[in-house]
Structure formats: C-alpha cells, structure tokens
Structure 1
Amino acid sequence: MYENFQRYIDERVALCDAESKLVRSVAVIKKIRKRQYLLQEGDVWKYDAFVSSGCLRTYSINEKGSEHIIGFSIENWWCGDRESLLSGEPSRFNIDAIEDSELVMFTHTNFEMLCREIPAFNQMVNNILNKSFITQQNRINASLSNTAEEKYLNFVKKYPEFALRVPQNMIASYLGITPETLSRIRTQTARNKG
C-alpha cells in the first residue's frame, strides 16, 4: 500500500534516501471498508490523505436529506476537507468509501513539517494544490454554463474510470442533475452512438 504512494512521489520529485525515510516515518496506513466513514459531518478533519487504492466520495446532506456530492477520490488522488483542516472548524462534509479503500495519511502537523524540511516535497504539494484549484474553477464554470448533457459527456470524457466504478445515482448527484435526467442522457447518448 505504501509502495503506491512511494511510486506517486517518485514520479513527481526526486528525494534522497533520508528524505524518503522521513516521509515514510510519519505516514499512517489506514484501511476502510466499503460504506465506512473516513470523516463525518461535525468532526474536525486533521489529516492530509492520499488514496492508495479504492474510491471515496465527499458529500454533504441538506436539510431535506438529499446528498450533494462535491467530489470523488480514487487511486493517486488526495482527499479530505481542506476548510476544516485549515480552520480547525467542524466539517460540513462526510467522506465515505464507495469501495474498500486504503489510504496513506499524515497528521497535518507532520505534513507541514515534511513541506518545511523537504523543499521538493513542498513543491510537489504546491503543484497539486494549484491543479486542484484550477480543477475546481473549471468545475464551477461548467456547472453554471453547461447543459446537463454537456456536464455528463465532459465528466465521462475527463473521468472515464468513474463511469465504470461509481453508481449512476452518485454521478447524477455530483453533476447536480436527477438520476432520471442522467438515465435519459445516457439512453440518448447510446442511441446517437448506435
């Protein structure tokens, strides 16, 4: 499990043996089963978490009991609630496993120490945060500008693995459309291809 994370780092930065050992020494391995929570609304998120295997979702539940999925995380992605992490405030979100999952986690204190002590690690983290910010900007723009069909087609094009791994009702929630609308779009798309 840690080997996946080590490969992820090695593909992005070159660390010396001492730096690699420091990262490994503060890493915590966590396994969670399908439907198990990693974070529940009301708890404070205190980690930087890398998904070594599996699939998770981050979502909120409104006052009517409807779920609003804000993101998915699969292998080689990071997950967590950055707002709760940085503010120390209780989270508004839940994170649970869609599949059995394994994570490499760091307390935020240790993660900040790694960023201070290892400049290459810090640069890798900054690159990840920048890409994440751009992705969120693009998602907001798409959700405001695109039709339901465009949202779905862009989602499948950008994240084809999700279409195979994530239940359709969760994809609909992520896209901000009803499951019925998604079903209609999928049927129409299949007809157009046929």
Structure 2
Amino acid sequence: MFEQIDNSVSRHIQLTQEELQLFHDLLQYKKVKKKQFLLQEGEVCNFEAYILKGCIRSYYLNKEGTETILAFAVEDWWVSDLSSFAEQKPSNMFIETVEDCELLSIDYQSKVELFEKAPKFEKYYRLLVQRSLGVLQQRFYASISQTAEERYLAFMEKYPHIAQRVPQHQIARYLGVSPEFLSKVRSNMYKKL
C-alpha cells in the first residue's frame, strides 16, 4: 500500500527506515466512492490526500452556482485546500471524487508531528507546494494570454490521461468556458483537420 507514496517521496528526499515508518503510521488509508465530497465550502480542510487510485476535482461555485474547476488530480498527485489546511480556516472550495478513489491522507496534527519528528518532510512538502504554485501560475498566464482553443489543445497535450477520464463539461469548466463553447471549439478544430 505504501510503495507508490514511498517512490514519490524518494524522488525528493532520502529517509531512514524509522522516518518512513513514522510517515506510514501517520497516514490513513481511505476508499471513497465516485461523486463523494472530501471537502465542501465552509468546512475546514483537515487533510492532505495522496491519490493511490482514482480522479478528484477541486472547484469553486460563484453566486450563480456556476462551477470553476481549479484542478483535477489523479494517481501520484496530492489534493487539499492548501490555505484552509495551513491556516485551519473555512474553505471556499469543494473537493469531490470523479471516480472511485483510494487515498492515503494525513491530518493537520499528524503533519505537525511529522515535521517535528522527521524535519526532512518539510523539504518534501515545500517542493510539492512550489510545483503546485508553478502550475497555478501557468494556468493563470494561459487564461489571460491564450484563446480557448489554445488552452484546450494545451490541456489535451499535457493531460491526455485526464481528458479521457472526466466529462467534457468539466473540462470546459476547467478551461473557463461554457460546455457549449467548448463544443464549438472542438467542432472548429476537427473541421480544420
């Protein structure tokens, strides 16, 4: 059960057997069915979850109830509301399973304990946050500098494994366009081929 996460961690830091065992002891294994909420708006996020199996999406709802999908996450990725988790304040996002999932999660107090007893993990989590921030910065840049067609092509090129696992209307919400508009974009692209 821990092989995947151990491989992920070992790409960034080297641990002793005792540090690995502490990490394993603090993780909680969970199976979650498709279309279940891990977090809802207004709740405090008390987990960071590593995905062993499945697909998850995080999103916001505006006042009209329209979704804006912030991210999709699949195997070997982490999911959480970083600011809600770090500050232990209510979240303004939803985190929901797209597929049946298997997760290894760590709660806030366990992460504090992990950092105290195995400080090397601070580097690991810092690197994860830096990567996450970089991805968000690139998404923001793309949203203001690229057309919907360019964003769609970039998404399909970068995440073909995700595009096959989530409905087109969710891809549209991730790209910041309506499902109808994405359908027109895709139709125009296929006409050009």
Taking the aligned partners of 2:131 and 2:95, their CA distance within structure 1 comes to: 21
Question: Counterpart of 1:128?
Answer: 128
4+ residue runs of structure 1 moved beyond 4 angstroms?
none
113-122 or 181-190, which moves further after superposition? Answer: 113-122
Which one is further off, 136-145 or 167-176?
A: 136-145
Looking at structure 2, the residues matched to 91 and 120 of structure 1 have their Cα atoms a distance apart, in angstroms, of 28
Query: In structure 1, how many angstroms separate the alpha carbons of the residues matched to 2:130 and 2:88?
Result: 22
Q: Match of 2:69, SS? A: strand
Judge which range, 83-92 or 27-36, deviates more. Answer: 83-92
Q: Aligned residue for 1:56?
A: 56
1:108 matched residue in structure 2: 108
| 1:116/1:122 contact within 8 Å kept | no
The alignment partner of 1:12 has SS state of coil
Q: Tell me which moved more, 53-62 or 114-123.
A: 114-123
Say if 2:87 is the partner of 1:87.
yes
| Paired amino acid for 1:52 | L
How far is 1:183 from its partner? 1.2
After TM superposition, the score normalised by the length of structure 1 is 0.93
Residue of structure 2 equivalent to 1:140: 140
Gaps of 5+ in 1: none
TM-score (norm 2): 0.93
Residue identity opposite 2:150 in structure 1: E
Distance in 2 (CA, whole Å) between partners of 1:47 and 1:71 is 17
Unaligned runs of 5+ in 2: none
Contact 1:30–1:102, Cα closer than 8 Å, also in 2: yes
Q: How many pairs were matched up?
A: 193
CA positional deviation for 1:156: 1.0
The CA deviation string for residues 113-150 of structure 1, in whole angstroms up to 9 with x for no partner, is 32333243222211111111111111111111111111
Which residue matches 1:169? 169
Residue identity matched to 2:55:
C
- SS of the equivalent of 1:89 reads coil
What one-letter code is carried by the residue in structure 2 that aligns with 1:38? L
In 1: Cα distance, 2:150 partner to 2:116 partner = 42
Amino acid at match of 2:106: F
- Aligned CA RMSD, in angstroms, stands at 1.5
